[in-house]
Amino acid sequence: MKQRQIHLKIEQAIVLRNEQIAHGIWRMSLVAPDVASAYVGPGQFISLLTDDSWDHLVRRPMSIAKINEDEVDIIYKIFGDVTDHFTKKCPGDSMNILGPLGNVFTDYNSEFAEPILIGGGVGLAPILNLYDACEKAVMIIGARSADEHFLNHKPDNSVYLTTDDGTAGIEGNVLTALKNMKLSENTILFACGPEPMLIAIQNYAVEKNARAQLSVESYMGCGVGLCQGC
Ligand SMILES: Cc1cc2nc3c(=O)[nH]c(=O)nc-3n(C[C@H](O)[C@H](O)[C@H](O)COP(=O)(O)OP(=O)(O)OC[C@H]3O[C@@H](n4cnc5c(N)ncnc54)[C@H](O)[C@@H]3O)c2cc1C
Ligand code: FES
């Protein structure tokens, strides 16, 4: 991933939509013209304050799932108190957001590149954003069960779903699907998801001598280098 100059914005974003799209997974669209105009590319994230109460003092990082003019979309999974609080937000409510933060994926549209995008768990948001930006790509999205998926398994369109319990797509995890794919010298793996998944993909990339860009979503605080939390 490529490091970039920071053009950070902070603004009071307005909730446009906030809907459950799969079991425990929600999509929120925010009107945030300043952050949207500073967006550089897939891989970046924003940091949100759900309200200004003492109960929710720390911002929560969420990857950008889509930018559409002045709208910023996130896809989030209910993990704890703050993400549960996110689900209570209604159109017209506001949230303070900081961003765009982080580095961007690179080379996905370079000549001869054959990108394979892999998303698991909460790592699916930046991968979907990257998929939209790719001229061509294969995408693998993993979940435990069919009810956590909101896309369809469409191998003809190069979209592969996996489930641990076999209730949708390929039974197994994203590595099961990846290992059935032919890699070439032009393959680049792009992945975001839980740490064990990223380690497995890293090992596979090393074994196959394939290039890879991995986006790590470790637990963090401020997101801007102030709190020493990462
Ligand atoms: C750069 C970045 C991008 C992210 N993008 C997304 C996204 O697009 N969608 C999404 O749903 N989530 C994303 N996350 C994770 C998200 O920030 C956390 O799930 C959220 O902060 C949890 O807040 P909470 O108050 O609901 O849960 P908390 O009460 O803070 O946590 C609940 C439990 O989950 C654990 N936990 C929380 N966050 C993480 C984490 N990142 N890694 C491992 N364990 C964790 C805690 O230790 C605790 O046990 C991202 C994280 C980072 C760092
Ligand atoms: S999250 Fe605060 S310093 Fe990295």
Q: Which residues of 191-207 are buried (b: 16+ CB within 10 A; e: fewer)?
A: bbbeeebbebbeebbee
Q: What stretch(es) of the chain map to CATH 2.40.30.10?
A: 9-101
d(CA 64, CA 70): 13
- Give 21 Cα–ligand 1 centroid separation in angstroms: 18
Q: Give the CATH number of domain 9-101.
A: 2.40.30.10
**114-216: which CATH topology?**
Rossmann fold (3.40.50)
DSSP letter, residue 85: H
Per-residue pLDDT band at 5 (split at 50, 70, 90) = low
Q: What stretch(es) of the chain map to CATH 3.40.50.80?
A: 114-216
Please report the DSSP string for 121-173 in residue order: GGGHHHHHHHHHH-SS-EEEEEESSGGG--S--BGGGTEEEEETTSSSSEES-
- Give 60 Cα–ligand 2 centroid separation in angstroms: 11
- Give 186 Cα–ligand 2 centroid separation in angstroms: 35
Task: Kindly state if the Cβ of 220 falls inside 6 Å of ligand 1.
Answer: yes
Ligand nearest to the CA of 26: 1
pLDDT in tens, 102-154: 999 999 999 999 999 999 988 999 999 999 999 999 999 999 999 999 999 99
Ligand nearest to the CA of 228: 2
